[in-house]
Structure 1
Amino acid sequence: MTVPTHSTAVGKVVLITGAGSGIGEATARRLAEAGHRVVLGARRGKLVAAVAEDIRAAGGSAVHRELDVTDLESVRAFAGAATDQYGRVDVLVNNAGVMPLSTLDALKVDEWNRMIDVNIRGVLHGIAAVLPVMRAQGEGHIVNIASVSGHRVDPTAAVYSATKFAVRAISEGLRQESRDLRVTVVSPGLTRSELTEGISESAVREAVQDQMDIAIPASAIGEAILYAISQPLDVDVNELVVRPTAQG
């Protein structure tokens, strides 16, 4: 396969994980509206298929694939499907994540491991799947979704924060190793999504949901991602923190 050395005029090929709902879905819709070709992956195949169908019905370009970011071969197949169809990968948005908050003494070890698998390994799997293609192209852009919890640690968020600190560390390491790739970290604050539904402790879930009256829509994060990927190739927007004005 001959890999083009520059992006085409018809929009970038953008892979988005966790694209069935929340930030991933909103980003997919916004980027498609802006003329980019989006490749959507999510664990819930029917959900992501419906998002892709909606985008196409609105005149956008979207394909989808069921995806488990904790499985390296699943992620490689996801990236491979994009290169088979379009011949390149311009942008990867590593968005898939989980947030089952709890205090450490609750000993939710399975939930800790799930966060590590999705939030850290999932990001690394995405990088591993697209980096060879981007290196061959001589350009590419990896956008990793972290969190304000990657900048601070609050009670119940120790493990979640650890995973998001890790995302920022991985991103900075990749950025420093790269002269032909751009790397952006986007750290959302309180954002309306399904993340809170994964909190198994009812008291913690209710406490978080009580704060959501100030939450920003997921589309705000999509706009931030669109801004970052729209810059000239010699401009790398390294990090964006996007949160409600009212958030402390």
Structure 2
Amino acid sequence: GAVEILRTDVTNADDVKALVKKAIDSFGKIDVMVNNAGIMPLAPLSALKVNEWDSMIDVNIKGVLYGIAAALPEFEKQKSGHFINLASVAGLKVSPGGAVYSGTKYAVRAISEGLRQEVGKDIRTTILSPGLIDSELQLGSSDEGTSQFIQQVYKDAIPAISIAKAVAYAIEQPADVDINELVIRPTIQEF
């Protein structure tokens, strides 16, 4: 039958716990937690967009942590599970205007690697770092100059299905194979 979709605010730990509970109530267990929510309001630090910095930290870092907090106890109980955490190529290289965004994505990488080391042999952890992907992420900047630059750069974006296929690839591996990290970007993308 149809499963009710819950609107989940990843900046609210209780919302994320409710989402995991709904999955377990509907399917009996949870196999994979994809921590995908992210925002990218790029701007130079000198623009002092402190509220946007706070939002990026809340969504991009705390959202991942809340996803881990919601699913990890269940994964530990069932002795299986798979975290897929979306970082970014910005978590590999910092660019002007992206200092805070990159900081959040470096954090996702660090949290994911720490999680991988802590969860042992039964739970898999994958860091997925997309480059220019056609999604609403490119529309997040309120800084006019940065927004125009982003729109130009994103003309080289590849379809979001590329990321979905990477997620499927990581999930479909046998239980003893943990795809720890994938970086996916358009062939033309230099950074």
> Aligning the two structures, in what range does the TM-score lie when normalised by the shorter sequence?
over 0.9
Q: What is the rounded CA distance, in whole Å, between the counterparts of 1:130 and 1:150 in structure 2?
A: 24
Separation (CA, whole Å) in 2 of partners of 1:181 and 1:63: 27
| TM-score for both structures, normalised by structure 2 | 0.97
Q: Secondary structure at the match of 1:183?
A: strand
Q: Deviations over 1:9-35 (max 9, x none)?
A: xxxxxxxxxxxxxxxxxxxxxxxxxxx
Match of residue 217 from structure 1: 159
Structure 1 residue 214 displacement after superposition: 1.2
Q: Following TM superposition, by how much is the alpha carbon of 1:173 offset from its aligned partner in structure 2, in angstroms? A: 0.2
CA distance in 1, matches of 2:159, 2:25: 34
d(CA) in 2 for partners of 1:202, 1:196: 13
Kindly indicate whether residue 136 of structure 2 is the aligned counterpart of residue 186 of structure 1: no
Q: Does 1:99 align with 2:40?
A: yes
- Tell me, what secondary structure is at the counterpart of 1:211? helix
Shift of 1:62: 5.6
Task: Name the counterpart of 2:60.
Answer: 119
Give the percent of matched residue pairs that are identical in Structure 1 and Structure 2: 54
Separation in structure 2 between the aligned mates of residue 189 and residue 225 of structure 1, nearest angstrom: 15
In structure 1, distance between residues paired with 2:3 and 2:64: 22
Partner Cα distance (1:246, 1:85) in 2: 42
- The answer to whether residue 83 in structure 2 is matched with residue 83 in structure 1 is no
Deviations 1:58-98 (A, max 9, x none): xxx76411100000001111111111111100001000000
Number of the residue aligned with 1:138:
79
- The alignment partner of 1:64 has SS state of coil
1:176 aligns with 2:125: no
Q: Distance in 1 between matches of 2:189 and 2:5?
A: 34
Deviations 1:77-133 (A, max 9, x none): 111111111110000100000000000000000000000000000000000001011
Distance 1:117 1:200 in 2: 18
Could you report, residue by residue, the CA deviation over 1:24-54 in whole angstroms, capped at 9, with x for unpaired residues?
xxxxxxxxxxxxxxxxxxxxxxxxxxxxxxx
Superposition pairs of residues 9-158 of structure 1, within 5 angstroms: 63-158=4-99
RMSD of Structure 2 on Structure 1 (CA): 1.1
Q: Is the 8 A contact 2:138 2:154 kept in 1?
A: no
The SS at the match of 2:127 is strand
Q: Does 1:239 align with 2:177?
A: no
| Distance (Å, rounded) in 2 between the aligned partners of 1:62 and 1:168 | 32
Distance in structure 2 (CA, Å) of the matches to 1:195 and 1:202: 15
Conserved in 1, the CA contact under 8 Å of 2:132 and 2:157?
yes
Report the Cα distance in structure 2 between the residues aligned to 1:232 and 1:200, rounded to whole angstroms: 43
Give, in whole Å, the separation in 2 of the partners of 1:63 and 1:149: 34
Q: Distance in 2 between matches of 1:63 and 1:246?
A: 40
Residues of 2 paired with 1:86 and 1:226: CA distance?
A: 19
Contact (CA 8 Å) 2:170, 2:178: kept in 1 or not? yes
